[in-house]
Amino acid sequence: MSPPTSVLPDELLEEIFLRLPPDEAEHLVRASLASKFWLGLLSGAPFRGRYREFHGAPPMLAFLHSCHWNSRPKMEDNIPHFVPTTKFRACIPDDDWGDWEYDAWDCRHGRVLLGDAGYKPMTLVVWDPMTGCRRELDAPVLVDNSYGAAVLCAASGCDHSTCHAGPFQVVFIALNKTDAHHCVAQAWVTLPVTCDHSNPILLSTYGSHFDKWSKSCSRLHLVSDVYIHEAPPIFVQDTLHFKLCDCFDDRLVGILKYDLSTNCLSLIDMPLVESIIVDDVILMAMEDDNLGFAHVGGLVLNLWSRHMGSDGVASWTQCTVINITDILPIQNPKKRLRLIGSMEGTDIIFVTTDLGIYKINLKSLQWKKVWEREKLSSHTGVSTIHKKG
């Protein structure tokens, strides 16, 4: 086939290409192969920058989850808990992952944080599914109550559009008992770490350990009967937010906040004063860069957003009320819905129904079924892998 001859102005041609959906990247690839002119246009920095700006947050390529060992589904890839939602497949180094018993703890800025709490000291792995690189480290402290962790881009001023190959940091939060009635929360952060992507196989060996943790931040004293929920933390305006739960009845009792800029832990309030089951709530990093709080009661979804007032005091505002039956197929309305995660920087959440797992855009109310499986585990957090472009 002869190369296409463009009869359209360059500006109009670019506008057409801009509207190709980001979750169907094969169309852009085919167009770039049609001619050298189109290849130059589509691969150029101006177009790629406009494309990211036009479409906003990159599309989801896969999601990761944690589940009980006796209920693990068989995945297409041999990485535990990795579920592709597109044709994307993870890049796996040439060694045996099958014997590793890691849970998916967090996923952000193109990287995945896996952890194995069965070993002492607790082992963590940072893995780049797009290149296959991974780095290992030990937890900074033994944990006797509960823990939370996050992986973050460490590049200054980064817009996080193509930063998965840059430096990163790991944050580790631990709750340890001080006596029968109290525990203390502490946080540690690694120094920035960079993977050598020219040799992913070497970095998959045990020689890739790094363990340079900062000193712990000031202690935050809590009652002893609380734990950090297994769901991935939410990152908003240089702060991480974890769900804090009651050990006896799995009720949400507060939000644990870690501020990276001040290296301080604190508790913030919730928009609801009544006691609520933790699986009925997710925290969100919303499109306007505010902390969101989504709660489902029966088949009704309520969404709050936390804003800073002119007086410097943050408060919650209810912004959305949605009847799930108006937008999702529900076979058994008496069966309880569960909120299991969100896509940071978007208004997209994940909910399980009796028919499967769905993602819902809370602005457009558009939805898509992402997995047939109804239930992942009694406590599940979903982290998403995004296309960087």
**Rounded mean pLDDT of 137-162?**
83
d(CA 164, CA 109): 6
d(CA 354, CA 335): 7
**Rounded mean pLDDT of 19-48?**
80
Instruction: Please tell me the predicted confidence (pLDDT) of residue 68.
Output: 47
Tally of domains within the chain: 2
Residue 147 sits in a domain of what CATH number? 2.120.10
Tens-place pLDDT, residues 117-136 = 777 778 888 888 877 788 88
Same domain (yes/no): 8, 101: no
Same domain (yes/no): 3, 127: no
Instruction: Please tell me the predicted confidence (pLDDT) of residue 149.
Output: 94
Residue 362's domain comprises 57-386
Tens-place pLDDT, residues 316-335 = 999 999 999 898 888 888 88
Same domain (yes/no): 84, 230: yes
Same domain (yes/no): 290, 379: yes
Same domain (yes/no): 45, 80: no
Same domain (yes/no): 150, 218: yes
Asked which of 10-19, 61-70, 223-232, 358-367 is least confident by mean pLDDT, the reply is 61-70
Q: Is the pTM of this model over 0.75?
A: yes
Q: What proportion of the chain, given as a percentage, has pLDDT over 90?
A: 23
For β-strands 123-127 and 111-116, DSSP reports them as antiparallel
Residue 287 clears pLDDT 50, i.e. is over it: yes
d(CA 303, CA 379): 21
Same domain (yes/no): 34, 148: no
Tens-place pLDDT, residues 3-31 = 455 567 777 888 888 888 776 667 777 88
d(CA 320, CA 270): 16
Instruction: Categorize the per-residue pLDDT at 76 as very low, low, confident or very high, splitting at 50, 70 and 90.
Output: very low
Same domain (yes/no): 2, 102: no
Instruction: Please tell me the predicted confidence (pLDDT) of residue 83.
Output: 72
- Residue 113 β-bridge partners: 106, 126
CA-wise closest residue to 231 among 213, 248, 221, 245 = 245
Tens-place pLDDT, residues 239-251 = 999 999 998 888 9
Same domain (yes/no): 281, 363: yes
Instruction: Categorize the per-residue pLDDT at 271 as very low, low, confident or very high, splitting at 50, 70 and 90.
Output: very high
CA atoms within 13 A on the CB side of 17: 27
